[in-house]
Amino acid sequence: MTTMNPKIFVVFIVLILCSVAFSLFYNNPKTTTILENPTQNLTCITKIEEKTVRGTSLTGLIENGETVKILYGYYNCNEIKRNDVVVYDYAGNDNSIIKIIKALPGDKFSLEKTSEGWNILINDEIAKNFNNQYYVLSESGYKMLSLYEKDYKGIIPQNTYLILGNLADGSLDSTKFGLVDKSDIIGKVEFS
């Protein structure tokens, strides 16, 4: 009987362990959502964390108490798209907040008065939430966004985004703190 070279045996064991780990990763239901879209570049993700949502600003899309997966660094090598759910590093809050991208750089935006309040128009269409309801701003929300509409002549500047919650009457979002810079969007949110 011949004995196996110890170095070859170690390499063999390492290969088996790597194939088992690879198989577990790709078959794990918690990781498959980020792997389903082949156009995503996952090399820039610096950390993946599961977090429990605290708050109701995304009710109808993500509920209070629901667990989401945050892909930190995702936008370092992936384009931010309309309706992406993102994590925003809000300087006025101890915790980052989760919001929806509603307007992108270069988009035309304006505000239109209605009997209920103010609607946000993106590229001449009234912005809606995921429940198909129009966003209706209060006077304070109008005042905040009207400054940007005036200063930027109704065009979202480069590296700047309009982010909103999913509540039609607003939440802690761009209606309270204005348009946001790409550098403060720190991750993508994956949810079921």
**Residue 109 sits in the same domain as residue 174:** yes
Spatial distance between the Cα atoms of 175 and 185, rounded to a whole number of angstroms: 17
Q: Are residues 76 and 18 in the same domain?
A: no
Tens-digit pLDDT string for the chain (192 aa): 556 666 666 555 655 554 544 444 443 333 334 445 667 888 999 999 999 999 999 999 999 999 999 999 999 999 999 999 999 999 878 889 999 999 999 999 999 999 999 999 999 999 999 999 999 999 999 999 999 999 999 999 999 999 999 999 989 999 999 999 999 999 999 998
Give me the number of domains the chain comprises: 2
The C-alpha atoms of residue 101 and residue 184 are separated, in whole angstroms, by 13
Are 15 and 103 within one domain? Answer: no
Pair 56, 32 in one domain = no
Residue 14 resides in a domain: yes
Domain membership of residue 181 (yes or no) is: yes
Measuring CA to CA, which residue among 10, 79, 12, 74 is closest to residue 42? Answer: 74
Note whether 114 and 82 are same-domain residues. Answer: yes
Q: Select from 83, 92, 45, 110 the least CA-distant residue to 191.
A: 83
Q: Which ranges in the chain belong to alpha helices (H)?
A: 6-27, 32-35, 139-151, 174-177
Q: Using DSSP, how many helices (H) and how many strands (E) does the chain show?
A: 4, 11
The structure tokens listed for 93 are 């809050």
Residue 87: domain span: 39-190
What whole-number distance in Å separates Cα of residue 93 and Cα of residue 176?
A: 13
Asked if 129 and 109 sit in the same domain, the reply is: yes
